[in-house]
Amino acid sequence: MNFEKSKALQRVSHRIIPGGCHTYAKGDDQYPELAPAFLCKGKGSHVWDVDGNEYIEYGMGLRAVTLGHAYDPVVQAAYRQMLDGINYSRPAAIEVECAEKVASLIQGAEMVKFAKNGSDVNNAAVKLARAYTGRNRIAICADHPFFSVDDWFIGTTQMAAGIPEMVRELTVKFRYNDPGSVQSLFDQYPGEIACLIMEPEKNDPPVDNFLHEAQRKCRKHGALFILDEMITGFRVDLGGAQKLHKIVPDLSTFGKGMGNGFAISALVGKKEIMELGGLHHDKERVFLLSTTHGAEGHALAAALETMRIYEREPVIEHLYRQGQRLIDGIKKSVEENRLDGYFGTVGKPCNLVFYTRDRNKEPSQLYRTLFLQETIRRGLIMPSLVVSLSHTDEDIGRTVEGIHESLGIYRKALDEGVEKYLTGRPSKPAMRKYN
């Protein structure tokens, strides 16, 4: 493949943009050297880079695109709203309409507040929890990679430069599917924890009613129970993973798939908590969410149409079906290439990721980079294995074939050395202390 225009634009981007892009997970360090640096068009499940190369894509805008790129009914809904303007000096009627639609789908959504991204609404949830409980300490799940760009979370990562130590100390961690680790925090910090925040699940489902047990401990110790459904919402179930697991949190956050890539997110939850950010109560007000672009008309129109499509079409069923076809094809290839324990998939079919391991069956960025390199050569972009409604049977068939060929190279690299097959440096974890 020719990446001449990509490479030229890459040099310019690093001169003008810190890191060369605006989202760490999309950065050059996340991909092999033999990779398209810039995409310019997407339609359905396919994307094109600036050099004209075409790919089947399985990142889908960091899981935000569940229907497909430039999905016509959603684009048209946003376009029609844009013709009437997108931002007025008073609220627009569509804000109420969209909030009512969200509330009709999410059981615990007694009130709804919109913003543009997941960090906004997770920050608001944490702020509400602190105001509601009068406590400062936050408990986050150590097994879930990202909650917010704000100090309360970033201070717990390897990229904590610039965040005061006193802020870092206010966030503590528990382990997923480990109720004992939750109880240990309440024992260690009695009367101090404002909330627990976690994803309902990531690669592994909850076992032994872990979510319900964590919620029970929160209630016992006076903390709020918050679920981050940025990824699981509008992908594992129309009512979110909370519906799938039959649990109603105090607060929860949605985004990504809710707008099929448009910038929209939502904080939802119990009225007695949410109304602290409103006008009509006798308690001290919370500056909850007040964003100039938080309820832009075109994004709300896109979200409304996306939710309506979910209601009238078997979107989630399609995601599960196509994801399962990937699982089945990869299992067969892993067996044929003698890669059991070296390469495989984890997660639900609708939200798959893959793992790469070295000769010692240890997690390996080298082998991940090699796999990305080889799949890109075969017209696939797959930082994950996330499917959309637009992924056809033909797409899946071509993908399984390309993965099989790439795993053949993986096998050779295990036998002969990865350096023989990988061009350039390996990719790196997005969250790291030094370059």
* Rounded CA separation 415/146 (Å): 35
Nearest to 390 by CA among 105, 36, 73, 101: 73
| 358 lies in some domain | yes
* Rounded CA separation 116/298 (Å): 12
Same structural domain for residues 104 and 38? no
Same structural domain for residues 103 and 192? yes
* Rounded CA separation 197/214 (Å): 10
Nearest to 217 by CA among 185, 255, 259, 243: 185
Nearest to 252 by CA among 186, 200, 185, 311: 200
Q: Which two tokens stand for residue 318?
A: 């399609």
CB atoms within 10 A of CB 251: 28
* Rounded CA separation 40/70 (Å): 12
**What is the reported pLDDT for 434?**
79
The answer to whether the beta carbons of residues 121 and 113 sit under 8 Å apart is yes
Contacts of 79 (CB under 8 A, 6+ apart): 298
Q: What is the CATH number of the domain that holds 282?
A: 3.40.640.10
**What is the reported pLDDT for 1?**
84
Q: Residue 221: phi, psi to the nearest 5?
A: -105, 10
Q: Which two tokens stand for residue 429?
A: 């974890």
How many residues does this entry show for the chain?
A: 435
Same structural domain for residues 158 and 206? yes
Burial of 379 per CB tally in 10 Å (0-12, 13-18, 19+): middle
Question: What angle is formed at CA 324 by the lines to CA 322 and CA 328, rounded to 5 degrees?
Answer: 120
Q: What share of the chain is helix, strand, coil (3-state, %, to 5)?
A: 45, 15, 40
**What is the reported pLDDT for 428?**
85
The answer to whether the beta carbons of residues 109 and 155 sit under 8 Å apart is no
Nearest to 346 by CA among 369, 330, 362: 330
Beta bridge partners of 105: none
| 139 lies in some domain | yes
Same structural domain for residues 263 and 410? no
219's enclosing H/E stretch is: helix 210-221
Q: Which two tokens stand for residue 394?
A: 């033909």
Convert the pLDDT of each residue in 12-39 to its tens digit: 999 999 988 888 888 888 999 999 999 9
CA-atom Rg of the chain in angstroms: 22
* Rounded CA separation 306/235 (Å): 12
What are the residue ranges in the chain where pLDDT is below 70?
280
**What is the reported pLDDT for 197?**
98
| 76 lies in some domain | no
* Rounded CA separation 71/306 (Å): 10
* Chosen domain end from 232, 262, 295: 295
| 430 lies in some domain | no
DSSP label at residue 54: E
Question: Residue 403 is part of which domain span?
Answer: 4-70+314-420
**What is the reported pLDDT for 101?**
98
The answer to whether the beta carbons of residues 250 and 224 sit under 8 Å apart is yes
* Rounded CA separation 92/226 (Å): 29
DSSP label at residue 218: H
Same structural domain for residues 286 and 340? no
CB atoms within 10 A of CB 275: 18
The answer to whether the beta carbons of residues 400 and 325 sit under 8 Å apart is yes
According to the 3-state scheme, what is the secondary structure of 297-350?
Answer: HHHHHHHHHHHHHHHHCCHHHHHHHHHHHHHHHHHHHHHHCCCCCCEEEECCHH
* Chosen domain end from 240, 264, 295: 295
* Chosen domain end from 261, 295, 329: 295
Matching residue, tokens 């707008």: 259
Contacts of 397 (CB under 8 A, 6+ apart): none
Same structural domain for residues 196 and 164? yes
Number of domains within the chain: 2
| 434 lies in some domain | no
**What is the reported pLDDT for 196?**
98
The answer to whether the beta carbons of residues 23 and 39 sit under 8 Å apart is no
Same structural domain for residues 254 and 402? no
Convert the pLDDT of each residue in 205-244 to its tens digit: 999 999 999 999 999 999 999 999 999 999 999 999 999 9
Same structural domain for residues 102 and 222? yes
